[in-house]
């Protein structure tokens, strides 16, 4: 009977204030960006209907804060109505940003929407259009700082196709995200679950486990130029074969505005009037890759140059140089904009001549020459060495 589908999303963060952009762009642009970000959930609903999925799983942090602004609550309600009116069921868990408090429990949701409980596992059997019986199971947070490993709650599940919905930090990486509901990849693999629909980590990740997968779709919509918020953001579409096998999920972009960190090498810039041409060429490529979605950029000038005005943000002419760049970039960026400019440029160094000098850098370069590294790796190490020596001098 073919393939049936469901949609996996997480970390919608409805009602996010976008405070980190407040000082980066003008007020008119800020309100426009906020309006676009608020429409990302509408795009999720559109994708679910277009893809003809049979159910949607939302793996936590549906709201940005537990108290939720009225606009966010309304957007969620209207989106859930559209889904259920199109015979698409919805299964939700709540995470650290929106734990399952009393007011959330009391919110009236459309029939066909299931919120899994906190502290214990909830499960629902879904018979898909291809005849496959899928068990969808999940558990919500009762409090923001959930320190317990919740994976063992899924151990008793049985069935040929099981989807586990959980807000968790697999592997305990807390460099960007707090280590809530900690779990390990080995625990996920040894569980009876065939597809782990996870949330919490904002970077998309799809990983095989035995006969199935554990996956983070990433957050639905970027919110700043932090590295974890950049790039295409959206949802995963998961195909279920008529024998119950879960296929590798595929990504669908739902971004209404995209955030990017862009590096612009300036090694070829011999005279300051050439800088804007180099920057605009790189930005044009970024805008083209975004396929019409407005892009907000953190731009960093990189590489080596003898031009002091682009090597240091403290240089007297830095401000006028950047103002000229931003003015010209308007025509390239369209509805997007540059929100931050940084430089990590270093002074040009004749590495051949440097090797003949009696310096620490010379000794390091000679030692590097002896190592069995490919050219790209050596070049990267040289850049690190030179940057470090330049900063220390």
DSSP per position, 331-390:
HHHTT-EEEEEEE--B----HHHHHTS-SHHHHHHHHHHHS---HHHHHHHHHHHHHHHH
Residue 41 contacts residue 73 (beta carbons within 8 Å)? no
pLDDT at residue 373, rounded to an integer: 73
Residue 213 contacts residue 228 (beta carbons within 8 Å)? no
Spell out where 65-187 has E strands.
89-93, 113-115, 122-127, 133-138, 161-167
pLDDT at residue 213, rounded to an integer: 97
Q: Which are the contacts of 31, defined by CB distance < 8 A and separation ≥ 6? A: none
pTM for this one?
0.86
Give pLDDT < 70 ranges for the chain: 1, 19-20, 22-24, 66-68, 102-106, 173-177, 350-351, 354, 375-376, 378-380, 382-384, 386-393
Q: Which are the contacts of 145, defined by CB distance < 8 A and separation ≥ 6? A: 96, 178, 180
What is the spatial distance between Cα 111 and Cα 14, in angstroms, rounded to a whole number?
21
pLDDT at residue 357, rounded to an integer: 80
Topology of the domain comprising 4-253: Purple Acid Phosphatase; chain A, domain 2 (3.60.21)
What is the spatial distance between Cα 78 and Cα 114, in angstroms, rounded to a whole number?
16
pLDDT at residue 250, rounded to an integer: 97
341-352 confidence digits (pLDDT tens): 999 888 877 667
Three-state secondary structure call for residue 116: coil
What is the spatial distance between Cα 123 and Cα 35, in angstroms, rounded to a whole number?
35
């Amino acid at each position: 009977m073919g393939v049936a589908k469901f949609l996996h999303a997480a970390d919608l963060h409805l009602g996010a204030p976008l405070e980190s952009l407040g000082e980066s762009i003008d007020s008119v642009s800020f309100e426009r960006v906020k309006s676009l970000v608020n429409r990302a959930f509408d795009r999720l609903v559109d994708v679910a209907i277009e893809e003809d999925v049979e159910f949607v799983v939302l793996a936590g942090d549906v709201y940005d804060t537990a108290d939720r602004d009225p606009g966010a609550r309304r957007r969620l309600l209207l989106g859930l109505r559209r889904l259920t009116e199109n015979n698409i069921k919805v299964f939700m868990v709540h995470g650290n940003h929106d734990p399952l408090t009393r007011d959330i429990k009391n919110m009236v949701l459309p029939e066909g929407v299931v919120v899994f409980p906190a502290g214990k596992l909830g499960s629902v059997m879904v018979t898909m259009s291809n005849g496959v019986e899928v068990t969808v199971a999940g558990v919500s947070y009762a409090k923001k700082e959930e320190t317990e490993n919740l994976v063992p709650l899924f151990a008793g599940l049985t069935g040929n196709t099981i989807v586990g919905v959980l807000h968790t930090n697999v592997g305990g990486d807390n460099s960007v995200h707090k280590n809530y509901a900690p779990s390990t990849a080995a625990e996920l693999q040894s569980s009876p679950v065939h597809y782990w629909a996870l949330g919490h980590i904002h970077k998309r990740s799809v990983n095989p486990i035995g006969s199935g997968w554990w996956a983070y779709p990433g957050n639905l919509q970027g919110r700043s130029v932090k590295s974890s918020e950049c790039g295409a953001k959206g949802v995963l579409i998961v195909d279920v074969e008529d024998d119950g096998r879960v296929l590798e999920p595929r990504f669908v972009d739902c971004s209404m505005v995209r955030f990017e960190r862009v590096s612009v090498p300036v090694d070829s810039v011999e005279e300051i009037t050439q800088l804007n041409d180099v920057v605009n060429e790189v930005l044009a490529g970024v805008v083209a890759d975004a396929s019409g979605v407005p892009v907000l950029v953190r731009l960093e000038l990189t590489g080596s140059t003898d031009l002091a005005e682009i090597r240091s943000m403290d240089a007297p002419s830095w401000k006028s140089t950047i103002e000229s760049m931003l003015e010209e970039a308007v025509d390239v960026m369209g509805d997007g904009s540059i929100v931050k400019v940084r430089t990590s440029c270093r002074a040009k160094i004749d590495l051949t001549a440097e090797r003949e000098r009696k310096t620490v850098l010379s000794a390091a370069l000679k030692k590097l020459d002896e190592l069995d590294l490919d050219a790209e790796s050596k070049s990267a190490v040289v850049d690190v060495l030179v940057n470090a020596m330049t900063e220390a001098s």
